[in-house]
Amino acid sequence: MNSRERILAHLEGRPVDTLPAMPITMMFAGDRAGIKYGDYATDYRRLVEAQCRVAEEFDFDYVSVISDPGCEAADCGAAVRFYPDQPPAIDEANALLADKTRLARLAAPDPLGGGRMHNRVRGVELLKQRVGGDKLVEGWIEGPAAEGADLRGINALMVDFYDDPAFVRDLFEFVVEMEGRFARAQVEAGADVIGIGDAAASLVGPGFYEEYVWPYEKRLVDQVHTLGAAVRLHICGDTRRILQGMGQLGCEIVDLDFLAPVAEGRAAMGPQQVLLGNIDPVRVLRNGTPDSVYAAIEECHRQAGPRYIVGAGCEVPRDTPPENVRALVRYAREHAA
Amino acid sequence: MTVFDELQQAIINGQAALAKELTKKGLDSGKKPRDFFPNAIIPAMDEVGRRMRECEFFIPEVLIAARASRAATDLLRPLLVGDEAVQAAGVVVCGTVKGDLHDIGKNIVAMMLESAGFRIVDLGVDVAPEKIVQAVKDENANVVALSALLTTTMVNMKGSIEALKAAGLRDKVKILVGGAPVTDAWANSIGADGYGKDAPAAVELARRLAATA
Ligand code: B12
């Protein structure tokens, strides 16, 4: 069975030859391919080249267009700073919605309008052409809390939950609408799975998560499902207090960052949820040895049980020793579910 | 409840307008500006720190509490200027190091230090070592607090310390470092004076180090 078949079979609960391996690589991939990260993030051809290169070299089961959270915000008109060899960064001091009243006048960008979102859609298309028969192709969008934070400024958004909940809802409404269209464009371009990154969701606590964030995440997940793609949810950080909600979104794959033990994820989400993760990207994957990486993944697998995909808690850090990444995939190849 | 108790509650609950009103009320009834800190503001922020550690408070709660604390201290600070018995606990230059844009943790640390009586000079994010050196000189600071959230920018903490050394200012200041990837061992290896794992730890550390500075 090839990589794509392996992941799809695993998600459907059919038998697989080995565990799938789906670690997130961005800067690591760029570095491996000798591509400056500024180019990786802004030119889909370079991203595709690097993704194909690492998927081949390390035998990952998928390729992805994830690059940085600024694509949608940039197309909305936010000030984004670009660097030669770092991820683009949104200028929070000059956030697009520093003045909340601008939201009413904000038009959702066309994902095929020639901007950064379009660049990502083209990335999906080219990945599909290049390796789509063999590897699973992953598209990427931001979730309501993360994208809301990108547009409003994360420090301001945190306080809005108390000061102006109606604005928070309007903002998330806008985001879900925009991200739904972005997901559609990527699925039409060939994405098998859509990753939803919602980092800021781990910062708000269970009360606000359930009341404000979860309902919009749910709508987004449902939209992607109507498009016929699977969903991978990725919330960075300490998600221990919101695991139950994450498990009720109906995502095919839920990522766990290293701060949320796999056993807790399993207990909160039940035996059927496919969990992905979650070794500490820095302390274990980057600073460890092939043996310690292998052992740490083994422990994750033990806690997760068979509904499990091999990966780190978050992005593979750029200066990770390649032999550690190989050890991670080797664990997958040496184990059936 | 005394006005101090009420103010403490208002800060913990993040009620900025109420905190301001209670501060005025306390001042009108003859309370000394300097007494607000040990009796209301510091215990309030200590409690906020405790709730954060216990995961009863998350980022929004901490930020609105800090805002309420600021509503009180903004009224009090100008009144403390002539008071010989109080000096600021110290002057802290803080910032997120070069290349790094994460500032939520740094902001919380800064606000807690401010509530603990320190004067804060916040240089923001992506702060170059030269800017830190300049600020230490200009503000006559005795504490420098550096934050980094990326393994790739942690090294710039070292660069900042080197720059202070080169400018002959290293012995004038105590240097605290923190942020998710930072550890005690790292703090030692770059010659910092201390590492704090969270904002309450930053306050304890700053108090202890500033006392010996
Ligand atoms: C929010 C966030 C962002 C936001 C930041 C917005 C902002 N204004 O801060 C945005 C979206 C911009 C962002 C961008 C990126 N991020 Co980010 N981000 C996070 C996230 C989810 C939360 C960080 C946070 O605010 N935590 C809450 C605060 C309160 O905690 P804290 O900062 O640790 O602070 C506490 C203590 O550490 C301590 N402390 C902090 N500073 C100091 C200072 C002193 C002196 C002391 C004593 C104590 C102290 O006290 C604080 C309060 O208790 C983390 C994941 C995580 N859970 O940590 C990733 C994370 C930090 N990001 C990460 C990455 C990789 C990135 C990007 C490179 C992603 C990309 N490819 O685009 C970019 C880099 C941008 C840049 N150049 O900085 C990685 C870092 C991995 C690594 N070790 O290198 C993390 C860990 C995610 C992960 N699991 O991989 N990110």
In a domain, B86, yes or no: no
Q: B130 and B71 share a domain? A: no
Ligand 1 atom having least distance to the Cα of A237: 57
Query: Distance between CA atoms of B211 and B202, rounded to whole angstroms?
Result: 14
Question: Do both B162 and B183 map to the same domain?
Answer: yes
CB contact under 8 A, B61 and A203: no
Three-class DSSP category at B127:
strand
pLDDT tens sequence across B151-207: 889 999 999 999 999 999 999 999 999 998 899 999 999 999 999 999 889 999 998
State which H helix or E strand residue A82 sits in.
none
With cut-offs at 50, 70 and 90, classify the pLDDT of residue A3: very high
How confident is the model over B83-135, as pLDDT tens digits? 655 566 789 999 999 989 899 999 999 988 988 888 899 999 999 999 999 99
Q: Which atom of ligand 1 is nearest to the CA of B202?
A: 47
Kindly report, residue by residue over A214-266, the tens digit of the pLDDT.
999 999 999 999 999 999 999 999 999 999 999 999 999 999 999 999 999 99
Ligand 1 pocket member B177 (CB < 6 A):
yes
| A204 to B60: CB separation less than 8 angstroms, yes or no | yes
Residues 97-126 of A with CB under 8 A from B: none
Do B107 and B36 share a structural domain? no
CA of A301 to the centre of ligand 1 (A): 27
A337 — pLDDT class (breaks 50, 70, 90): confident
- Residue B151: the pLDDT is 84
Q: What's the half-sphere exposure (Cβ side, CA atoms, 13 Å) at B20?
A: 8
Put simply, whether A162 touches B (Cβ < 8 Å) is yes
Give the torsion sign (CA, A109, A113, A114, A117). positive
Question: B11 lies in a domain?
Answer: yes
A-chain CB neighbours of B61 within 8 Å are 205
**What residues of chain B lie within 8 A of the CB of A93, using their CB?**
124
- Answer whether A53 touches B (CB < 8 Å): no
Residues in chain A within 8 Å Cβ distance of B14: 162
- Position A280 scores a pLDDT of 95
Out of A70-74, A152-156, A317-321, B78-82, pick the least confident.
B78-82
Residue nearest to atom 63 of ligand 1 (CA): B150
Residue after which a domain boundary falls, among B60, B80, B100:
B80
Reported ipTM: 0.91
Under an 8 A CB cutoff, do B14 and A162 touch?
yes
Note the pLDDT of residue A90.
92
Q: Which of B58, B106, B125 to mutate to test the interface with A (most CBs of A within 10 A)?
A: B58
3-state SS class at B54: coil
Last residue of a domain, one of B80, B99, B132: B80
Residues B200 and B100 in one domain: yes
CATH code where residue B35 lies: 1.10.1240.10
CA distance A260 to A117: 31
Residues of A in contact with B69 (CB under 8 A): none
Residues B57 and B125 placed together within one structural domain of the fold = no
Asked if residue B85 is part of any domain, the answer here is no
Do B204 and B133 have their domain in common? yes
Residue B151 Cα: closest atom of ligand 1: 84
Residue B171 lies in a domain: yes
> Residue A208 and residue B60: Cβ atoms within 8 Å?
yes
Residue-level pLDDT at B86: 58
Residue among B149, B157, B175, B205 whose CB has most ligand 1 atoms within 8 A, to mutate: B149
| One domain, residues B194 and B162 | yes
Task: Answer whether A94 touches B (CB < 8 Å).
Answer: no
pLDDT above 70 for B213: no
pLDDT band of A51, cuts 50, 70, 90: very high
Q: Locate all alpha helices (DSSP H) within A189-289, ordered by sequence.
A: 205-208, 214-226, 243-247, 262-269
Count of positions (residues) in chain A: 337
Q: Is residue B123 part of a domain?
A: yes
Q: What is the pLDDT of residues A55-97, one digit of tens each?
A: 999 999 999 999 999 999 999 999 999 999 999 999 998 999 9
Q: What integer best gives the mean pLDDT of chain A?
A: 97
In this prediction, residue B85 carries a pLDDT of: 54
The pLDDT value recorded for residue B82 is 66
A227 or B33: whose pLDDT is higher? A227
- Quick one: which of B70, B75, B76, B147 has its CA closest to B115? B70
- Calculate how far, in angstroms, residue B180's C-alpha sits from the geometric centre of ligand 1: 7
Q: What is the pLDDT of residues A131-147, one digit of tens each?
A: 999 999 999 999 999 99
Distance from CA of A280 to the nearest CA of B (A): 11
The domains of chain A are located at 3-333
CATH of domain A3-333: 3.20.20.210
CATH number at residue B105: 3.40.50.280
Percentage of chain A beyond pLDDT 90 is 98
B192 touches ligand 1 (CB under 6 Å):
no
Does B184 fall in a domain?
yes
Through-space distance between the first and last CA atoms of chain A, rounded to whole angstroms: 14
If asked whether residues B136 and B205 sit together in one domain, one would say yes
Write out the two tokens for A231.
Answer: 């969903």
**Is B103 within 8 Å of A155 when comparing Cβ atoms?**
yes
pTM score? 0.92
Distance from CA of B209 to the nearest CA of A (A): 29
Same domain for B103 and B136? yes
Q: What is the pLDDT of residue B117?
A: 84
Check: CB of residue A319 under 8 Å from CB of residue A297: no
What pLDDT shows up at residue B83?
64
pLDDT recorded at residue B79: 85
Residue at a domain's end among B80, B112, B132: B80
How many C-beta atoms lie closer than 10 Å to residue A249's C-beta?
18
How many domains does the structure of chain B reveal? 2
Domain assignment present for B96: yes
CA distance A180 to A161: 23
* C-alpha–C-alpha distance, residues A256 and A62, integer Å: 18
Question: Looking at the predicted structure, is the pLDDT value of residue A124 above 80?
Answer: yes
Residue B202: which domain range? 91-212
Judge if B46 and B108 occupy the same domain: no
Query: What local confidence, expressed as pLDDT, does residue A226 receive?
Result: 98
User: What are the residues facing B92 on neighbouring strands?
Assistant: B120, B143
Q: Is A284 in the pocket of ligand 1 (CB under 6 A)?
A: no
Q: Are A282 and B181 in contact (CB < 8 Å)?
A: yes
**Shared domain check, B114 and B70:** no
Question: Do residues B95 and B49 share a domain?
Answer: no
